Amino acid sequence: MKPLKGKIADKTSDYVKRLQSLGFVIIGQTNYPELGLTNVTKSKLYGNAHNPWNPKYNTGGSSGGGVASLAKSIVPVTTGNDAGGSLRIPASWSGVIGLKPTQGVIVGDDTVPSSVNFANAKNVSDLKKYFDGMINEDNRDELVKEPTQDLKKYPIAYSTKSPVGTKVSKDAIKAVKQTVKFLRAQGYTVVKKNAPVDGEKLMKTYYKESTPSGTSANELIKEKTGKNMKYKDVSPMTWALYQADKKQPKSTEKQIAKENELVDRQMTDFHKKYPLYLTPTTAKTAAKNSDPAYLPKYTKRLHQISKLDHKKQIQLIYDAWMHGLAKTPFTQLANVSGEPALSLPTYVSKKGLPLGVQFEAAKGQDQLLLEIGQLFQDEGQLQFLDDYLADK
């Protein structure tokens, strides 16, 4: 946000304190979209984050700048947070590994609903060590479970159907089918099965849960500058969330909790039969940098969103975000359910752009995901930029 340019945080988060205590050397902050709201990294201050595989394309968001530095092997690990796919979407589009852990398992996860702090890497063993070092010890017994034993006794579910009814590219479908073929060759049973969740309803609830981030942005700007935010200071969506939160009924919080609890129960029951759920991480390969986060026709409407009642505000936010959501409709389920999800870079398109597949597991089964990731890495199934360039 432009009003905060040059403003330095006056405290160190518990997450960063833990990193420092483990001996990590933090070399800097990278580009990310305002409030981490979009699945592409575009910011008013620093522009686009260019994809190392092809700079005409975006890295994905919101942890785009960090993942670009990782894909280029500038650093071995990058940090970020994930409230809707912000670690996994850039992992898919930039060809690295991204884990969104179980909600609450990592130190500092109690700050924002549905949001978790974690990292991206190019080596599963690095993520395993990182996970062990960053666990919130107060929640270890409750949220860190032993991996499901004898996984080959259980079917793995997979789906290539968008949960919001949007188009899924041939590349995304091929990536999943390629993964299914590999798993079956390893002796696993893999069956086609969609998650038992109403995707459109989930997303509208998710957007209602996101509106307080607009108010938080205004509070931060006011704290640092002494003034409330203005439309020109922030992105259209930040402004829209800020205005929608003003009209959000007090009863909405209970409604959100009720609907999220339903998703939690649905997925908990689902994983009793299917310990792993496989989908594309993203519905297509990376978006071009020329592709806007929101279609221009919505910009003016978002500016004037305060004129609408709350129900119409949420519908407008849903419609405006659909241009981006259609590219990445698979990641938000894990945030709403609180489950862990892992994106693995298993596929490269004919145009030379990567695309990841995502495994989602029951709460507490983070280590199961890491074991699956290790299997893919050990068997040479992961494709990174350095290897791709070396083979050309």
The reported pLDDT for the residue numbered 112 is 60
Q: Length of the chain, please?
A: 392
159 CB neighbour count, 10 Å cutoff: 17
326 CB neighbour count, 10 Å cutoff: 16
The reported pLDDT for the residue numbered 9 is 81
The reported pLDDT for the residue numbered 3 is 73
Give the integer Cα–Cα distance in Å for 289 and 280.
Answer: 22
Confidence of residue 44 (pLDDT cuts 50, 70, 90): confident
Tokens for 359? 């495994």
Q: Apex CA 54: angle with CA 52 and CA 58, to 5°?
A: 75
- Is 157 in contact with 274 (CB distance < 8 Å)? yes
Q: What percent of the chain has pLDDT over 70?
A: 99
The reported pLDDT for the residue numbered 111 is 53
Read off the pLDDT of residues 269-284 as tens digits, 9 standing for 90 and up: 999 999 999 999 999 9
Give the integer Cα–Cα distance in Å for 267 and 193.
Answer: 13
Tokens for 234? 């922030």
All structural domains of the chain: 12-391 (3.90.1300.10)
Q: pLDDT at residue 253 above 80? A: yes
Q: pLDDT at residue 10 above 90? A: no
Give the integer Cα–Cα distance in Å for 38 and 164.
Answer: 17
Q: pLDDT at residue 157 above 90? A: yes
- Is 218 in contact with 228 (CB distance < 8 Å)? yes
Read off the pLDDT of residues 187-231 as tens digits, 9 standing for 90 and up: 999 999 999 999 999 999 999 999 999 999 999 999 989 999 999
Q: pLDDT at residue 260 above 60? A: yes
Confidence of residue 6 (pLDDT cuts 50, 70, 90): confident
Q: pLDDT at residue 110 above 70? A: no
Q: pLDDT at residue 149 above 90? A: no
Cβ contacts of 77 within 8 Å, gap of 6 or more = 70, 119, 120, 121, 126, 127, 130
Tell me what the mean pLDDT of segment 168-179 comes to.
Answer: 99
**Mean pLDDT, the chain, as a whole number?**
95
Distance (Å) of CA 281 to CA 96, 319, 375: 12, 22, 18
Strands 354-361 and 77-82: unpaired
338 CB-contact burial (10 Å; exposed 0-12 / middle 13-18 / buried 19+)? buried
Give the integer Cα–Cα distance in Å for 248 and 252.
Answer: 7
Give the integer Cα–Cα distance in Å for 62 and 331.
Answer: 13
Helical ranges in the chain per DSSP H: 14-21, 64-71, 88-94, 124-134, 140-143, 170-185, 199-210, 212-225, 236-246, 252-273, 299-303, 310-325, 332-337, 366-378, 385-391
Read off the pLDDT of residues 328-369 as tens digits, 9 standing for 90 and up: 999 999 999 999 999 999 999 999 999 999 999 999 999 999
The reported pLDDT for the residue numbered 113 is 65
Q: pLDDT at residue 148 above 90? A: no
The reported pLDDT for the residue numbered 114 is 84
Tell me what the mean pLDDT of segment 238-255 comes to.
Answer: 95
Q: pLDDT at residue 391 above 90? A: no
Tell me what the mean pLDDT of segment 136-158 comes to.
Answer: 93
